Structure 1
Amino acid sequence: MAAFDQAQARGQTVIDIAGLSTRFGDVTVHDNLSMDVRAGEVVSLVGGSGSGKTTLLRQILGLERPSAGSVRVFGVDIHRADAATLQTLRNRWGMLFQHGALFSAMSAFDNVAQPMRELRALPEDLVRDAALLKLQMVGIAPSQAARMPADLSGGMVKRVALARALALEPELLFLDEPTAGLDPALSEAFVDLIAMLRREMRLTVVMVTHDLDTLLALSSRIAVLADRRLVAFGSAEEVVRVDHPFIHDYFLGQRGLRALQGMRDMKEHHYGK
């Protein structure tokens, strides 16, 4: 059995956040927050503006340091690791930024090849083959690989950025508003792509999203941030049973109820009642 399968079978913890607090001057963003992410699941972070979703994501990535508590990724305290250990960890994850964050002076191909070239571990012919393969995996044909970011549609930018996030065959994928700016049809196609790649590449995923359809289609568990704490953490069915104003407004309004019903209909179609 592959290492990922063994980890998933044991429910191995990939990310462990314990007693995390974040303060900026007199403002407290997180107060004694604890949660985990297990191998093979998709954990989504949701919450209102200022709830600390992006701050928490940046702390998991090691870009910001919490005021107290710890963040362990693959068993390593991310804020106590030396530079070499941190770089090794970063090679094990990929990040899809909200607006793609492609290098504007590089072609789609070179954006995807860049992480491989940085490692300086592969000859250029293998980098070329690997980059084209990653682009093909996300639906970008070789004939489109030479295009510059300014010549790509919003959906294509997302796909190229996803290919770059997957360039180093990561075990862990971070998604920041993956469907933001896409129309409903493109959004649905992108969600299907992420779901397929997660299965094929056996990824563990941490996602920040405001989009209910994306959230319900992909999430194994949902972490709801409000009032400086984790007010709910579980499946969609478990979360909506928590009595909290944000959950009522977000999940149980008309749009939320439609999305929840759509999720239930999809499950019945695939698995039966």
Structure 2
Amino acid sequence: MSTIGTPATPGAIRTPGTLTTSGTMTTPLKGAVEDLPLPAIGEPIIEVRNLSKRYGRNIVHQHLNLDIRRGEIVTIVGGSGSGKTTLVRQILGLERPTSGTIKMFGEDISTIEPERARLMRTRTGMLFQHGALFSSLSVFDNVAQPVRELGKVPADLLRDIVMLKLEMVGLPCKHASKPPAALSGGMVKRVGLARAIVLEPELLFLDEPTAGLDPRSSDEVVELISTLHRALGLTVVLITHDLDAMVALSTRVAVIAERKVLVAAPVEEAACVDDPFIREYFLGMRGRRALQALPPERRAKLPPAALAPASVGARPC
């Protein structure tokens, strides 16, 4: 695992499976990792303390606190305009907080030196909501871009890195020469994921990874995220309105309302918090339908209202 001073080597693979001389996997990634345990939960790698963010008179966050530990998948949920994406942008250093501190890998991102900040960025990956692929570049060149930004890489090695990452996300290499406009929505998400993991990051941010997808494609992306989490030992920060994806993936759910994190806990515990927004979000018909897909041992911890049939209105806890 890399440190700030020694970023992960591009193309260095930490996944099981047999590699051919060309760098492609001969064993499907899902099958290669399905018997592996989930990543162990470790020390905090993101620490947000007393964060406030305002735009003029508009206060988005006020005294917000959140820890994200190594190996977790933490889903950030909240109503529209609650500041989910704004929080992630501040964690990534794209915006500055009005006050408060954010530490990533133990470093205060507001005071870190530029060179160390650049190295830190190689330890993170980002999948943007609509893929954010460069329309003028091929699939290959989109995935290769972060590697090229690090400096000159031999063409053969660059090809091996890109093709391996495309195979890891389940995209046949025959699509490498295509422009993004020739891809389906699900394929665009896969290319975005391949680009996000091309530098072998430790920390992966996903902004609405299933938005705009049909149910089958959405399920496939959820399964792919779960597989990559297990295969690469990733820590994942997920923003989503997809309740099924939240329930399927989350180690913990961080609920933003009233300008702060109301609760950051496993979804079955978060659903028990007595708060108007949480009752509306988790105990409505869609929320109950998603929660009832939890395994029996976790479903047993839900409040009684969450177990009401999803086709009828919920009674208060």
Category of TM-score, reference length = shorter chain: over 0.9
**Maintained 8 Å contact 2:52/2:60:** yes
Please name the residue that 1:83 is paired with.
114
* CA distances 1:91-141 after superposition (whole Å, capped 9, x unpaired): 000000000000101111111111111111531210110000000111111
| Residue of structure 2 aligned with 1:60, choices 67, 85, 91 | 91
Please name the residue that 1:111 is paired with.
142
Matches within 5 A, 1:12-23: 12-23=43-54
What code does the residue aligned with 2:72 have? E
* CA distances 1:238-260 after superposition (whole Å, capped 9, x unpaired): 10011111111111011111110
Please name the residue that 1:153 is paired with.
184
Matches within 5 A, 1:65-144: 65-120=96-151, 122-144=153-175
**Residues of 2 paired with 1:266 and 1:196: CA distance?**
22
CA RMSD of aligned residues (A): 1.9
Please name the residue that 1:263 is paired with.
294
Q: State the TM-score, normalizing by the size of structure 2.
A: 0.80
Please name the residue that 1:251 is paired with.
282
Deviation at 1:82, TM superposition (A): 2.2
Larger Rg: 2
**Residues of 2 paired with 1:124 and 1:228: CA distance?**
48
Task: Determine helix, strand or coil for the equivalent of 1:263.
Answer: coil
Deviation at 1:10, TM superposition (A): 7.2
Task: Determine helix, strand or coil for the equivalent of 2:129.
Answer: coil
Please name the residue that 1:232 is paired with.
263
Structure 1 pair 216/73, CA: closer, same or farther in 2 (3 Å)? same
What code does the residue aligned with 1:217 have? A
**Residues of 1 paired with 2:67 and 2:98: CA distance?**
19
What code does the residue aligned with 1:173 have? L
Percent sequence identity over aligned pairs: 56
Deviation at 1:24, TM superposition (A): 1.4
| Residue of structure 2 aligned with 1:27, choices 31, 34, 58 | 58
* CA distances 1:135-172 after superposition (whole Å, capped 9, x unpaired): 01111111111110000000000000000000100000
Deviation at 1:266, TM superposition (A): 9.8
Task: Determine helix, strand or coil for the equivalent of 2:76.
Answer: strand
Please name the residue that 2:229 is paired with.
198
**Residues of 2 paired with 1:213 and 1:146: CA distance?**
33
More helix by share: 1
Which stretches in structure 1 are left out of the alignment for 5+ residues? 269-273
Please name the residue that 1:242 is paired with.
273
Please name the residue that 2:315 is paired with.
none
Structure 1 pair 10/114, CA: closer, same or farther in 2 (3 Å)? closer
Q: State the TM-score, normalizing by the size of structure 1.
A: 0.93
Matches within 5 A, 1:176-215: 176-215=207-246
Q: Does 1:221 align with 2:252?
A: yes
* CA distances 1:175-207 after superposition (whole Å, capped 9, x unpaired): 000100001111011100000011000000001
Deviation at 1:264, TM superposition (A): 2.9
Task: Determine helix, strand or coil for the equivalent of 2:294.
Answer: helix
**Residues of 2 paired with 1:9 and 1:254: CA distance?**
33
- Mean CA deviation greater in 112-121 or 149-158: 112-121
What code does the residue aligned with 1:252 have? L
**Residues of 1 paired with 2:2 and 2:149: CA distance?**
28
Please name the residue that 2:78 is paired with.
47
Please name the residue that 1:175 is paired with.
206
**Maintained 8 Å contact 2:123/2:201:** yes
**Maintained 8 Å contact 2:76/2:238:** yes
Structure 1 pair 22/161, CA: closer, same or farther in 2 (3 Å)? same
Which stretches in structure 2 are left out of the alignment for 5+ residues? 4-13, 15-38, 300-317
**Residues of 1 paired with 2:246 and 2:41: CA distance?**
25
